[in-house]
Structures are given as C-alpha cells and as structure tokens.
Amino acid sequence: MTYDTIVRGGTVVAADSVKKADVAIKGEKIAAVGQKLSRAKRDGTTIIDAAGKYVIPGGVDAHVHLELPFCGTISSDDWSTGTRAAARGGVTTVIDFAIPFGDQTLEDAFNAWAAKAKSKACVDYSFHVAITNWQRQGPELPKLIEMGCPSFKQFMIYESEGWQSDDRALFLGLELSRKCGAMVMVHAESSRVLDELIARHHTTELMEKYGARLHPMTRPNFIEAEAIQRAVMWAQATGGCLYIVHMSTGEGADIVRAAQARGARVYAETCPQYLVLDDSVFARPDGNLYASCPQVKKKKDSRRLWQGLKRGEVCVISTDTCTFTREQKAMWNGDWTRIPMGLPGLETSLPIVYTRGVLAKKLSMRQFVARCCTNPAKIMGLYPRKGGITKGADADLVIIDPKKRLKVDHATLETNADWSPYQGWSLAGFAEHTFCRGRRIVENYKFAGENGYGRFVPRGKPGRL
C-alpha cells in the first residue's frame, strides 16, 4: 500500500486511548494507524514529523451560526471567514442551524443555508434545522431526517425574531424525536419571566446607571434553570431525545445530571465563554461587546461546568459562534436590549479548552478529545466517519505542539471580528497542521485551504455515548 501522507511518531489521542503511532493518509481517508508505517514511504509520500506532538481527530463544532440574520443585522463571519477560523482552530466539521424565515419550509431553509455554504466553506459542514412553526414544519421533519438532518432546534425564547416554540411544540417535537430516532436541541431560557425582568429594568435611568450590566442583571440563573427543568420534564414524559445547547449555569448541570441518573436521554453542551469568562466583563467600558444569549455567568458556574465536563454530564463543547464586529455591537447605543448577541469562537475554542482545561489539569487529553471531537461526532450521527482516528475514517487530523503558545490578537485571526474576548491571552493548543479529508488546510499555523473545499456531510441518527 502506498500512502499520500504519513504523520509520523506522534502521540495519537482518541477518546479512549493514547498511544504513539504513525497515521497514514490515502486520498481522503485514514488508510492505517500503526507502527513504522513510514517504511512504506514512496516517491510522492509526504512525511510529517509529529514526534513530541499530539495528533487528535479534527474538532467537530456542533453549534455555529455563520451569516445569520439576527438582532437586526447579520453575523459577520460568513462561510469563508468562519470556516477559515475553524481550520486554524483545529475544527474540521461545523454544524450550523438552517432557520426558516417568513413562510419558508424547512427544505427551503436547508437549501438557503446550503447555497450560502457551498462555494465558501473551507471545512466540512452539516445542518440542523430550526422549527419556527410546529404546525407547518413538524410534518416535514421525516423528510429532513432522510436528507441527513436528524436534529432540530427549538428555541424557548426569541418571540420577536419569530423563532419561539411554546411548550406544546416542544412536547410534540420530543414525541416525534422518539418516534423517528431524532433529537431536539433546545435553547433553554424562560421567556415570560425574562420579558418581565427586562421590561422592569428598561428605563432611561437604569440604563444610564448600569449600562451593559443590565444584561446579566435581567438574566439570573433561574431563567436558564427553569427552562432546562421544563424541557427535561417533557423529555422524560415523552421518552424523547433532548440536547441542551450552550448551557451556562451550574444549576443546569445539576438538573441534567439528575435527569441522566433517572435514565432520561438528555445531553448537554457548554461553550468556552462559559468556562473562562464571567459576568465582570459587563462592567468594562466595552462590556456591550460581550453580550451573548445566554450571557456568561459567575465563576462558580464555570467551576460547575468544568466539573460536569470532567464527569461527563456535560458531554460536548461547542462554540455557538455568532460573531459581530464592534460597529455592529455599537447598535446598542446605551440600550442593552439592542445589542446583537453572540461571540466569536471557532478559532480559539480548542486552544482555550486545551490551555485552561488540559494544562490546568481540569480535563485529561482523552477527555479533551472526547468533548471536542468524538462525543459531538457520535451524538450528531457523524461517527465513525468523523471524530476519531481509525482506518477508513475521513482523514481529519490536527497536530498540536503541546508547548507552543500563541498570543491571541484579533488582527491576526482569520475570523471577521475586529475584537476578541480573549485579546492578549497566551494560549497553547492551536493547530500547527490541520487536515480535512486528507488535504492540509493549515500548515505551520497558517491557513492553507480554499473556499469551496468543504463538503456537506449528511448525518445518520443520533448515536449514544
């Protein structure tokens, strides 16, 4: 057997093993994992020396929003800049949310998202679909599942965007997920109480006094916790499969852990911003930049989420990338309810989790790979094609120098953000090389891929961990 590329002598990390091995690539696939594969070197075989480096599966980011029309503007990372950022951050598959607008069908939304991605994506991609009107869109779901979208999003907030699902829609969605072997992904925040708290604080006087701090002041932890509790209740009552997106509170982790102990099929993801930032950022002069939904919480929440990741009740790290520039964030003009909500994330996610998780001994290397690569691939129906390093899998590989640190500077990042929540942070864990389906798309920390290389990946039924 001849190989195109051999990654030689690295420490190959999987969710369940760490071993020194060579990884051989032929075409788009991993052809072999083993010892002394470089003996099979021929003219034309590229050898990458990975001695002293980690070789991990490409990251799978199950939660991104590229070019999303949201909060009166469009998120500023498009399918080119967003996926260039992904590649540099070691993420080789992204899953975005196709959201129907107006009276679009789910298939219309899928087609609109596919059209945006096709000529620009630099890494592989897939879609969840969002249910904005259960009555019209519910009957369409079996078809979308057939098309490779076995997970659908239901928002418990965002009435003004026209996206909100009520309890009835949530209950029906979970029932259908059980019948069809699909999964409901829920943005859990308690809309009516949130509306009340926002209305109570929405005065000129309070806005002058507290500025962006009103964002966390109007979203206490019970806003998320109550909604998670309710969604879990519907999941248990229906036997449906529930995935809590962007979980930000310690209370959420407690509820999910208890539900899992009762045997409910409930998964939860969190994001780097909830692990390494806290709500003191809103007191900064540029505190408005940090608004996301849900917002970052307190240090004790971060501690509980790290614990959940370590133990496994929080099983996935995604980014919820939804980038806005300083100019877009300035739309708030002193009113926190007008801040476009979301943060950049794809380029820094793995480095943050590696530096603040693995190097800080909060996670092992295997847990890092499980939460960022293998678990999202399994739960999202992409495994074993994605998320692992085994013969026959897509050759999505990331080589990390365990000691090499880079200073985060938005000016040198690929993301189309003119700021970074992590500006000036010294992070290890950036991809020295990234391979996506056998092609090197990051070389010596520089993007080396191209627009349109990324391919749509249809997904199978959600797997179990």
Interface ranges with ligand URP (CB under 6 A): 65, 187, 292-293, 320, 322, 341-342
How far are the Cα atoms of 81, 97, 201, 246, 349 from residue 318, in angstroms, in the given order? 18, 13, 32, 8, 8
Which of 294, 449 has the CB closer to ligand URP? 294
What the block records as the tokens of 148 is 């490779």
SS3 sequence of 393-441: CECCEEEECCCCEEECCHHHCCCCCCCCCCCCCEEECCCCEEEECCEEE
Q: CB of residue 289 vs ligand URP: minimum separation in angstroms?
A: 12
How far are the Cα atoms of 164, 178, 220, 255 from residue 251, in angstroms, in the given order? 23, 26, 11, 6
75 vs 78: CA distance, rounded Å:
7
CB 340 within 8 A of CB 73: yes
CB 352 within 8 A of CB 275: yes
Which of 22, 347 has the CB closer to Zn ion? 347
Q: CB of residue 331 vs Zn ion: minimum separation in angstroms?
A: 19
| Burial label, 199 (beta-carbon count in 10 A; 0-12, 13-18, 19+) | exposed
Q: CB of residue 65 vs ligand URP: minimum separation in angstroms?
A: 5
Which of the choices Zn ion, ligand URP, none does residue 341 contact, using the CB cut-off of 5 to 8 A by kind? ligand URP
246 vs 223: CA distance, rounded Å:
14
Which of the choices ligand URP, Zn ion, none does residue 342 contact, using the CB cut-off of 5 to 8 A by kind? ligand URP
Which of the choices Zn ion, ligand URP, none does residue 433 contact, using the CB cut-off of 5 to 8 A by kind? none
Residues whose CB is less than 8 angstroms from the CB of residue 99 and which lie 6 or more positions away in sequence, other chains included: 68, 109, 129, 130, 132, 153, 163
202 vs 216: CA distance, rounded Å:
13
Which of 8, 187 has the CB closer to ligand URP? 187
Which of 154, 292 has the CB closer to ligand URP? 292
Distance of CA 120 to the CA centre of its chain: 19
Which of 187, 386 has the CB closer to Zn ion? 187
Which of the choices Zn ion, ligand URP, none does residue 304 contact, using the CB cut-off of 5 to 8 A by kind? none
Which of the choices Zn ion, ligand URP, none does residue 31 contact, using the CB cut-off of 5 to 8 A by kind? none
In terms of DSSP bridges, do strands 266-270 and 242-244 run parallel, antiparallel, or are they unpaired?
parallel
Q: CB of residue 445 vs ligand URP: minimum separation in angstroms?
A: 28
Q: CB of residue 203 vs Zn ion: minimum separation in angstroms?
A: 27
Which of the choices Zn ion, ligand URP, none does residue 386 contact, using the CB cut-off of 5 to 8 A by kind? none
CB 175 within 8 A of CB 241: no
Q: CB of residue 15 vs ligand URP: minimum separation in angstroms?
A: 26
Nearest to 414 by CA among 435, 394, 403, 430: 430
Q: CB of residue 320 vs ligand URP: minimum separation in angstroms?
A: 5
Which of the choices Zn ion, ligand URP, none does residue 292 contact, using the CB cut-off of 5 to 8 A by kind? ligand URP
Residue 340 DSSP one-character state: P
Nearest to 357 by CA among 449, 270, 267, 229: 270
Which of the choices Zn ion, ligand URP, none does residue 328 contact, using the CB cut-off of 5 to 8 A by kind? none
| Burial label, 168 (beta-carbon count in 10 A; 0-12, 13-18, 19+) | exposed
Which of the choices Zn ion, ligand URP, none does residue 80 contact, using the CB cut-off of 5 to 8 A by kind? none
Which of 22, 320 has the CB closer to ligand URP? 320
- Residue 174's SS3 state is helix
Which of 70, 425 has the CB closer to ligand URP? 70
Q: CB of residue 341 vs ligand URP: minimum separation in angstroms?
A: 4
Q: CB of residue 77 vs ligand URP: minimum separation in angstroms?
A: 12
Which of 219, 459 has the CB closer to ligand URP? 219
264 vs 328: CA distance, rounded Å:
41
Which of 125, 430 has the CB closer to Zn ion? 125
Q: CB of residue 347 vs Zn ion: minimum separation in angstroms?
A: 17
Residues whose CB is less than 8 angstroms from the CB of residue 39 and which lie 6 or more positions away in sequence, other chains included: none
Q: CB of residue 312 vs ligand URP: minimum separation in angstroms?
A: 23
- Alpha helix locations (H) across 204-271? 204-210, 214-217, 221-238, 250-261
Which of the choices Zn ion, ligand URP, none does residue 251 contact, using the CB cut-off of 5 to 8 A by kind? none
Query: Which positions lie near Zn ion, rule CB under 5 A?
Result: 187, 320
Which of the choices Zn ion, ligand URP, none does residue 189 contact, using the CB cut-off of 5 to 8 A by kind? none
Which of 187, 304 has the CB closer to Zn ion? 187
Which of 91, 393 has the CB closer to ligand URP? 91
